[in-house]
Amino acid sequence: MNHDPHRPTLLVVDDTETNIDILVDGLENDYDLSVAMDGPSALEIAQENRPDLILLDIMMPGMSGYEVCERLKGDATLRDIPIIFITAMSQEEDETKGLAMGAVDYVTKPISIPILQARVATHLELFNSRRALKSQNEILEVKVQERTLELRESRLATITCLGRAAERKDPETGLHIQRMARYTQLLGQGLGLDPTVTELLLHAAPMHDIGKVGVPDRILLKPGPLNSDEWEIMRSHPEIGAEILSNQPSELLQMAQDIALAHHEKWDGSGYPRGLKGDAIPLSGQLAALADVFDALTSTRPYKKAWAVERAVETIVTSKGIHFQPSVVACFLRMLPEMLAIMDQFQEKHD
């Protein structure tokens, strides 16, 4: 039969030509119809044409209507097509079984065409409403995903700017915070942390030195060694950073606060500002600490040349159990090739 793309399409399935003729005569003025006289043919036509609704007989030789319904509902591409059983099986348990299998309606023979027309129209309207709602929800989901990505990118840009604000008072470059943040995320991934946590690490780590905005330039930019008083002031930057980031409901800023406060703590308790020891140091701070040290050792600073990677690695391994948690050092060694790839990607350019 020729199909009008503007009219709903129905698939009529019955093994008796007389029944098919009755259904076709009663519905052809309003719908484009396809017919099948057995289960396998019905499944084939449904796959090819994707009808808007199926009228399905139950008692058919070979494959019953129940089996056809089960096959349709088991196919992800066809399961949403509404099915109306058309059958001489009029017992209540038969109707209950048909509806339980996923049919939207159950019409017994002999068929009243006006009633069938009304039920078909009702179920097509419901089907189209559900389809429109699903389409709208999919559009909204895409918009939400786009907005979420936009917010994530905006958040990361803002955080990076905050990190760079601190870096402006420090001889280190903006590439330091990019490398250090990615090192921190990579270590989290190497430890098998949840992706949502490693994403937070990436975004929180750039704020590790935000407290340096509270350190006077005369100390921060001093070319030579600091005296004891100056060093005491310098050691205050973790607590200044934690104060800047405090009392925020954001999970991200709470992690950033932990990192700002703990990234100079040491595994053996000899770090600062609070002398935390072992697992009392937040894991985010432990990861950021190793990432920060590795980048500092392998980067050029006004007061030193960049160390060779081998020397930096040896220093970190020697600090296992003293500065760094042993399992974090082991993770660092496993992830070293990826860390070196990050180093190459975000390398300083010198004239």
Determine what percent of the chain falls in helix, strand and coil, rounding each to the nearest 5. Answer: 60, 10, 35
The predicted structure's pLDDT at residue 165: 59
pTM for the whole structure: 0.58
| Of 106, 66, 102, the residue nearest 90 (C-alpha) | 106
For Cα atoms 48, 50, 53, give the angle at the middle one, nearest 5 degrees.
140
The predicted structure's pLDDT at residue 351: 42
Instruction: Tell me whether the omega of the peptide bond preceding residue 326 falls within 30 degrees of 0, making it cis.
Output: no
Mean pLDDT by 10 residues, the chain (351 residues): 70 93 92 94 93 93 92 92 89 86 89 90 88 83 80 65 58 75 97 96 91 86 86 94 87 92 97 96 98 93 85 97 97 97 82 42
The predicted structure's pLDDT at residue 157: 65
The predicted structure's pLDDT at residue 51: 94
Per the document, the length of the chain is 351
Domains, the chain, ordered by start: 9-139 (3.40.50.2300), 168-345 (1.10.3210.10)
Q: Which long-range contacts (CB under 8 A, 24 or more apart) does 36-42 make?
A: 36/11, 36/12, 37/13, 38/62, 38/63, 39/13, 39/63, 39/64, 39/65, 39/67, 39/68, 39/71, 42/11, 42/13, 42/68
Tokens read off for 129: 């409403």
The predicted structure's pLDDT at residue 34: 93
